[in-house]
């Protein structure tokens, strides 16, 4: 039987960062024994593939309004306690070159691997058991007893950093949720987030032949002032729609609901087409549309509206308005999402009402902590989810 001060389950972003933060805080003090356990062959696998291999490791705008949770205020304290600038200071100290892409999103210039190496370097002194499965967890005198494929480990503090359900092929399991339930914490039903949306046959008639075409769009969900809107890339796929704007809105969408897409943002297309009709009425409708949209998309929409061979000059205002509505206010109802297989994150998770916002400790279970994606706090696309992993891990480490 091994005895440790802190056992962390999960060697992903949150688990590695938590171990490093405990070790760092211990400098000059009697050392704690810290162990991290993961069933994967390598640590930080999702970091490795993140940001197309360059890891979008934080976002400068990481405030609580960029996160979804049943309790939107919960994440504020941890986010204030460890900011994007704090993480950038570590990245700079490690000599990792980075750049800001758009909207405060920070990426490595070279490789996401550098972030993993930095995290591993920072937690030197902690033990890392890989390819180790967890067989059971129980409360024991003064802490917790964890059965593993390498034997039993007794720990004063147990930190659950096993992430969400997204991408089971990369090691995601429901272990964190099972442990939460076992100790009487409630769960907000986990569901796939930041995920491509799928559509019924009638919409696929348009999407499928356009697979690979991308366009800048505004995608919205909800009505009026409470509507959520994202302006970013939209990509047609064989199963429906993807691209950053769709991934963002997928976290807000629920089955049965509609989304609305503006394929030509900032453009009053009806007015533009009326102008074009006045100036060059002989041109085809598809050609006229092609001035504002990728030509394959323009052709497909003109065909769908029965205007493939039509001349602009022959179209009355009502027809141009209908066409413009189709482009500026395309309403459609996804039938589902591509699910856990491709989702970048998991919405829902351990109910924040059962956790202390200051240190992520279970209210009813001293010494048991939940950090990172396993908690019901989910960021927008763009580096927010890693910032939550760092910030929640730091909050727990400070209390340990």
The nearest distance, CB 235 to ligand FDA, in angstroms, is: 15
* Beta carbon nearer to ligand FDA, 51 or 348: 51
Cβ-based burial of 147 (10 A; exposed 0-12, middle 13-18, buried ≥19) = middle
CA angle, residues 179, 183, 188, in degrees to nearest 5: 70
The nearest distance, CB 57 to ligand FDA, in angstroms, is: 7
How far apart are alpha carbons 170 and 156 in whole angstroms? 29
Is the dihedral angle over the CA atoms 141, 146, 152, 156 positive or is it negative?
A: negative
3-state SS class at 49? helix
* Beta carbon nearer to ligand FDA, 50 or 251: 50
The nearest distance, CB 201 to ligand FDA, in angstroms, is: 28
Phi, psi of 221 (to 5 degrees): -140, 135
The nearest distance, CB 372 to ligand FDA, in angstroms, is: 2
Q: Which residues contact 27 (CB under 8 A, 6 or more apart)?
A: none
How far apart are alpha carbons 303 and 311 in whole angstroms? 13
* Beta carbon nearer to ligand FDA, 111 or 321: 111
Which residues of this chain interact with ligand FDA, rule CB under 6 A? Answer: 9-15, 38-40, 45-46, 49-51, 55-56, 133-134, 161-163, 166-167, 171-173, 175, 344-345, 372-374, 383-386, 389
Is the dihedral angle over the CA atoms 58, 39, 393, 179 positive or is it negative?
A: positive
Q: For tokens 């089955």, name the residue.
A: 255
* Beta carbon nearer to ligand FDA, 27 or 169: 169
HSE value, Cβ hemisphere, 13 Å, CA-based, for 390: 27
β 151-160/2-9 pair status: parallel
List the one residue out of 161, 131, 181, 118 whose CA is nearest residue 7. 161
How far apart are alpha carbons 390 and 66 in whole angstroms? 15
The nearest distance, CB 58 to ligand FDA, in angstroms, is: 7
The nearest distance, CB 373 to ligand FDA, in angstroms, is: 4
* Beta carbon nearer to ligand FDA, 143 or 349: 349
Phi, psi of 268 (to 5 degrees): -85, 90
Please, what's the b/e burial string for 57-76 (b: 16 or more CB within 10 A of its CB; e: otherwise)? bbbbbbebebbbbeeeebbe
The nearest distance, CB 346 to ligand FDA, in angstroms, is: 8
* Beta carbon nearer to ligand FDA, 163 or 196: 163
* Beta carbon nearer to ligand FDA, 20 or 171: 171
List the one residue out of 137, 141, 181, 174 whose CA is nearest residue 159. 137
* Beta carbon nearer to ligand FDA, 177 or 307: 177
* Beta carbon nearer to ligand FDA, 220 or 378: 378
The nearest distance, CB 394 to ligand FDA, in angstroms, is: 13
In the complex, residue closest to ligand FDA by CB: 12
The nearest distance, CB 139 to ligand FDA, in angstroms, is: 19
């Amino acid at each position: 039987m091994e005895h440790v001060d802190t056992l962390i389950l999960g060697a992903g972003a949150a688990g590695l960062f938590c171990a490093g933060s405990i070790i760092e805080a211990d400098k000059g003090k009697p050392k704690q024994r810290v162990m991290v356990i993961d069933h994967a062959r390598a640590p930080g696998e999702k970091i490795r593939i993140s940001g197309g291999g360059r890891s979008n490791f934080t976002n400068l705008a990481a405030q609580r309004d960029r996160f979804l949770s049943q309790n939107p205020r919960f994440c504020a304290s941890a986010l204030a306690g460890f900011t994007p600038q704090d993480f950038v200071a570590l990245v700079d100290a490690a000599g990792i070159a980075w750049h800001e892409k758009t909207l405060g999103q920070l990426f490595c210039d070279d490789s996401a691997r550098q972030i993993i190496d930095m995290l591993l370097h920072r937690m030197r002194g902690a033990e890392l058991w890989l390819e180790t499965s967890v067989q059971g967890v129980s409360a024991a005198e003064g802490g917790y007893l964890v059965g593993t494929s390498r034997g039993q480990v007794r720990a004063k503090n147990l930190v659950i950093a096993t992430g969400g359900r997204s991408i089971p092929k990369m090691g995601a399991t429901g272990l964190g949720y099972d442990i939460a339930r076992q100790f009487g914490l409630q769960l907000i039903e986990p569901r796939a987030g930041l995920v491509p949306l799928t559509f019924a046959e009638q919409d696929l008639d348009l999407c499928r032949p356009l697979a690979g075409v991308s366009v800048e769009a505004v995608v919205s969900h909800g009505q009026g002032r409470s509507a959520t809107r994202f302006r970013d890339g939209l990509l047609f796929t064989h199963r429906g729609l993807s691209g950053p704007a769709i991934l963002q809105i997928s976290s807000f969408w629920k089955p049965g609901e509609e989304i609305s897409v503006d394929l030509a943002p900032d453009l009053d297309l009806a007015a533009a087409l009326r102008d074009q009709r006045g100036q060059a009425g002989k041109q085809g409708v598809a050609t006229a549309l092609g001035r504002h949209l990728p030509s394959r998309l323009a052709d497909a929409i003109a065909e769908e509206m029965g205007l493939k061979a039509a001349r602009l000059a022959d179209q009355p205002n009502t027809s141009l308005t209908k066409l413009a509505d189709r482009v500026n206010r395309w309403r459609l109802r996804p039938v589902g999402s591509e699910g856990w297989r491709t989702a970048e994150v998991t919405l829902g998770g351990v109910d924040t009402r059962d956790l202390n916002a200051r240190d992520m400790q279970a209210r009813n279970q001293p010494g048991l902590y939940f950090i990172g994606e396993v908690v019901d706090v989910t960021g927008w696309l763009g580096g927010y989810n890693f910032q939550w992993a760092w910030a929640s891990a730091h909050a727990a480490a400070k209390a340990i």
